[in-house]
Amino acid sequence: MNDSNVEALVLEYLSSPLTAEREEVLRSLLTEHGYAIEELDELRETYAHLDEIRVPPASEAMTEGFYRLLEEHKHQARAGQRRFATLMAWLRNRWDHRFVARVACGLGLLCAGWWLGVRSAPHGQYERRLDNVTAEIREIKGMMAYAMLSQPSSSDRIQTINHIRTCGALDERAIALLLNKLQHDPNVNVRLVALETLAEQTDRATVRQGLLRALSQQESPLVQLALTDVLVSLGRRAAASQLRELLARPDLNDTVRARIASGLETLM
Amino acid sequence: MLKVCSGDLDKLGLLFERHKTALFGYFYRITGRAEISEDLVQNVFLRILRYRSQFTGDGRFATWMYHIAHNVCADHFKKMGARATGGGFSSVTQEDGETPEVRLLIDECLQRAEEALGQLRADQREILVLSRYQGLNSREIGQILGCSVGTVRVRVFRAITSLRQVYAELEG
């Protein structure tokens, strides 16, 4: 016998008299666990005291209250049924061919309108308009940048070139402006930043030709060195004649001279 | 009850007549107040009306009814915020043929039993009442209270032990 059966037997003993056989089973089980059945007797007696509590009869008011409640509920249920029945009767009265035809026409028109609306929705127009707006914004930004390139402050011009560089693809007008800055800007740093930007665009013929033209116009050794490096890295023999012309200048910086000499060796 | 579920609300009157006394006793033994118990009985039948569609007919109607009664009782104590019976048990009239001495002795025992029960926690009072008076077995009580059969047995035993302790203290 497991614990659950012992529990059941104990509660049974506390609740009501057991048969002699079951009482003997409980007694032996309790003895096995070191208890005496008499220890339960006090509990049984206390449990039985509960029966002494007398419950008074419920008043008639409780019963009357319940039946009133039930009547109210039935009344509400009937009212709900009446509303439903009225609705159904109204629908039945309306249920003639003309009414059905009108409802069907209305629904058909609604569906047709919805279908036409979906069909004629200008998705393509939205995309085209968005592209146009994006292009316009890009052009405005470009125009602002070009205007800023002619500012008197060299740091502002450098900032503008960096801004143009980060804007993405450069158009022909931007390339022309950058080449102009490389050739004619009075500030060395501006020319160097312009050269850096143009060096990323050497796949264009206009840029390569512009770089070659700029070489002969440069007086700053720093720009001469940077230009020499870019032209040598391109590996174009066309640059050799320009480099030789520069090399022939008597006022050329020694470092630049050495770099051009090694560059020419590379190109040849 | 299945007829009530299908819309025959008059049949609820029969169920009320059949169970009202036991249900009133259940609430009275837990709350100790006749007026409150009457209100709670009506609350139970109001909920039965509202939630009749939830009765599936799988178990006994009494088990389902006491499950609702348990919830009504819990709501009552939550609202009252009290664990005690709230003023003690209502007085019960003297029966014919009792001598004053016998009546005094009975009254003493009765008062002690009522006080002992009233001093228990509400959940202990409830499980004692369910197991002693409402004709429910441990499995059904487990369904009502939402616990296992083993837990029910342990809780009943603990409640009886607590009752014994309180009773002994009252005896002095």
Look up the ipTM and state it.
Answer: 0.72
**What value does the mean pLDDT of chain A take?**
82
- Greater confidence (A107 vs A87) lies with A107
On chain A, the residues whose CB falls within 8 A of the CB of B130 are none
pLDDT for res A110: 92
Higher pLDDT, residue B69 or A125: B69
C-alpha span between B168 and B172 (Å, rounded) = 6
| Identity of the residue in A47, A56, A69 whose CB atom sits nearest the CB atom of B90 | A56
Check: CB of residue A157 under 8 Å from CB of residue A151.
yes
Mutate one of A49, A71, A84 to test the B interface: name it (highest B CB count within 10 A): A49
* A36-54: pLDDT as tens digits: 778 788 888 888 878 777 8
pLDDT tops 60 at residue B92: no
- Report chain B's mean pLDDT, rounded to a whole number: 81
At B13-30, the pLDDT tens digits run: 888 999 999 999 999 988
Q: How confident is the model at residue B89 (pLDDT cuts 50, 70, 90)?
A: low
3-class SS of residue A59: coil
Question: Which pLDDT score is estimated for B87?
Answer: 47
Nearest CA in chain A to B159: A47
Contact with chain A for residue B132, Cβ under 8 A? yes
What is the CATH architecture assignment of A130-267? Alpha Horseshoe (1.25)
| Residue B86: band (very low, low, confident or very high) from pLDDT cuts 50, 70, 90 | very low
Contacts of B117 in chain A (CB under 8 A): 50, 53
Interatomic CA distance for residues A87 and A90, integer angstroms: 5
Tokens of A122: 């200008």
Q: Which of A18 and A112 is assigned the larger pLDDT?
A: A112
- Under the banding of pLDDT at 50, 70 and 90, the label for residue A187 is confident
In angstroms, the Cα distances linking A90 to A23, A66, A87, A102 are: 74, 36, 5, 16
User: What percentage of residues in chain A have a pLDDT greater than 90?
Assistant: 2
Closest-CA residue of B relative to A78 is B7
Put simply, the answer to whether B149 touches A4 (Cβ < 8 Å) is yes
Radius of gyration of chain B (CA): 18
pLDDT at B97: 57
Q: Contact at 8 Å (CB) between B79 and B55?
A: no
Task: Look up residue A199 and give its amino acid.
Answer: A
Residue A1, pLDDT above cutoff 60: no
- pLDDT(A175) > 50: yes
Residue type, A50: L
- Classified by CATH at the fold level, domain B2-86+97-171 comes out as Butyryl-CoA Dehydrogenase, subunit A; domain 3 (1.20.140)
Show contacts of B164-168: CB within 8 Å, 24+ apart.
B164/A42, B164/A43, B164/A46, B166/B115, B166/B116, B166/B119, B166/B120, B167/A46, B167/A49, B167/B112, B167/B113, B167/B116
The predicted structure's pLDDT at residue A176:
86
Q: What is the pLDDT of residue B99?
A: 65
Token digits of residue B34: 């006749």
CA distances from A119 to A109, A114, B121 (A): 15, 9, 72
pLDDT at B84: 46
Q: CA A120, A122, A123, A127: dihedral to nearest 10 degrees? A: 160
Mapping DSSP onto H, E and C, the string for B92-121 reads CCCCCCCCHHHHHHHHHHHHHHHHHHHHCC
Q: Distance of CA B38 to CAs A53, A56, B45, B93, Å?
A: 18, 11, 11, 19
Q: Read off the pLDDT of residues B109-134 as tens digits, 9 standing for 90 and up.
A: 777 778 888 888 888 989 988 988 88
pLDDT of residue B40: 92
User: What pLDDT, on a 0 to 100 scale, did the predictor assign at position A34?
Assistant: 76
- CB contact B37 to A (< 8 Å): yes
Q: In chain A, where are the structural domains located?
A: 3-52, 130-267
CB B47 within 8 A of CB A66: no
User: What's the pLDDT score for residue B68?
Assistant: 92
Residue that wins the pLDDT comparison between A99 and A76: A76
Q: What is the pLDDT of residues A198-214, one digit of tens each?
A: 888 888 888 888 888 88
Crossing angle between the packed helical segments B122-133 and B100-119, to the nearest 10 degrees? 120
Residues of chain B with pLDDT > 70, as a percent, come to 84
Per-residue model confidence as pLDDT tens digits over A235-244: 877 788 888 8
Q: What is the mean pLDDT of residues B82-102?
A: 54
Which conformational region is residue A97 in: left (phi greater than 0), alpha (psi within -120 to 50 degrees), or beta? alpha
